[in-house]
Structure 1
Amino acid sequence: MYLSNLSYVSEPALDSLTLAVSIEIQKKITVTMATTQQQHGTPPFISGQEIKGLLSYEDLIPTVERSLITYSTKKSEFCQPMRTKVDSGSTGLLLTMPCYSAPDSALACKLVTVFPGNTDLPSHQGIVTLFDPESGSLQALMDAEEITCMRTAAASAVASRHLAHPQSRTLALLGSGAQAFSHFEAIATLFAIECIRVHSRNPEKRAALVEKIMLSAKFKPDVMKVEDCESAKAAVDQADIVCTVTSSRDPVLRADWLPRLCHVNAVGACRPDQRELDESVTSAAFLVADSRESASSESGDVIVNKATVHAELGELIAHPERFREARASRGGLTVFKSLGLGIEDAATARLVWDLRMKE
Structure 2
Amino acid sequence: MHFLKDKEIQEVYKIHHAIEDVRLVLNDHRNDELVEANRIVLPASASSSMLYMPCISTKQKVSIIKTVSIFPENADLPTTQGNILVSNLEDGRHIASMEASYLTRLRTGAMTAIATDKLARKNSTVLGVIGTGRMAFEQVLGVLEVRDIKKIILFNRTRSKAEKFKEDLEAFGVESGIEVADDVNRVVTGSDILNCATQSKTPVFDGSELKKGTHINGVGSFTPEMIEMDMETIRRAEQIYLDDMDGAMEEAGEIIKAVEEGVISWDDIKGTLADIFDKGFLRHSEDEITLYKCVGAGYFDLAVANGVMKIKNLK
Partner of 1:294: 247
Report which structure shows greater RCO (CA 8 Å, sep ≥6).
2
- C-alpha separation between the residues in 1 aligned to 2:83 and 2:241? 28
Contact conserved, 2:222 with 2:253, CA < 8 A, in 1?
Answer: yes
Which has a greater percent of strand?
A: 2
Residue pairs, 1:304-315, within 5 angstroms: 304-306=257-259, 307-308=264-265, 309-315=269-275
| Residue 14 of structure 2 corresponds to residue 48 of structure 1 | no
- C-alpha separation between the residues in 1 aligned to 2:27 and 2:2? 30
Equivalent residue letter for 2:129: L
- C-alpha separation between the residues in 1 aligned to 2:59 and 2:123? 32
Equivalent residue letter for 2:248: A
Partner of 1:335: 291
> Which SS does the other structure have where 1:173 is aligned?
strand
Paired residue total: 306
- C-alpha separation between the residues in 1 aligned to 2:178 and 2:93? 47
| Residue 208 of structure 2 corresponds to residue 251 of structure 1 | no
Task: Between 250-259 and 85-94, report the one with greater CA deviation.
Answer: 85-94
CA deviations 1:179-222 (Å, max 9, x no partner) are 222112222122211000000001111110111111113x12xx
**TM-score of the aligned structures, taking structure 2 as reference length:** 0.91
| Residue 158 of structure 2 corresponds to residue 202 of structure 1 | yes
Partner of 1:64: 22
Equivalent residue letter for 2:180: D
- C-alpha separation between the residues in 1 aligned to 2:257 and 2:232? 12
Contact conserved, 1:117 with 1:247, CA < 8 A, in 2?
Answer: no
CA deviations 1:261-320 (Å, max 9, x no partner) are 011110111111111111001112111111111111112111122244331121133566
Of structures 1 and 2, the larger Rg is shown by 1
Gaps of 5+ in 2: none
Contact conserved, 2:213 with 2:286, CA < 8 A, in 1?
Answer: no
Which has a greater percent of helix?
A: 1
Task: Rate the CA distance shift 1:293–1:330 in 2: closer, same or farther, 3 A.
Answer: farther
Contact conserved, 1:106 with 1:347, CA < 8 A, in 2?
Answer: no
Contact conserved, 2:118 with 2:280, CA < 8 A, in 1?
Answer: no
* Superposed displacement of residue 351, structure 1: 0.7
> Which SS does the other structure have where 1:205 is aligned?
helix
Equivalent residue letter for 2:276: L
> Which SS does the other structure have where 1:287 is aligned?
strand
Contact conserved, 2:215 with 2:291, CA < 8 A, in 1?
Answer: yes
| Residue 280 of structure 2 corresponds to residue 317 of structure 1 | no
Partner of 1:13: none
> Which SS does the other structure have where 1:304 is aligned?
helix
* Superposed displacement of residue 103, structure 1: 4.1
Contact conserved, 2:38 with 2:297, CA < 8 A, in 1?
Answer: no
Q: CA RMSD in A?
A: 2.0
| Residue 213 of structure 2 corresponds to residue 261 of structure 1 | yes
- C-alpha separation between the residues in 2 aligned to 1:225 and 1:136? 49
- C-alpha separation between the residues in 2 aligned to 1:149 and 1:59? 13
Among the aligned pairs, what percent are the same residue? Answer: 26
Gaps of 5+ in 1: 1-42
Contact conserved, 1:170 with 1:241, CA < 8 A, in 2?
Answer: yes
- C-alpha separation between the residues in 1 aligned to 2:166 and 2:277? 33
Task: Rate the CA distance shift 1:232–1:355 in 2: closer, same or farther, 3 A.
Answer: same
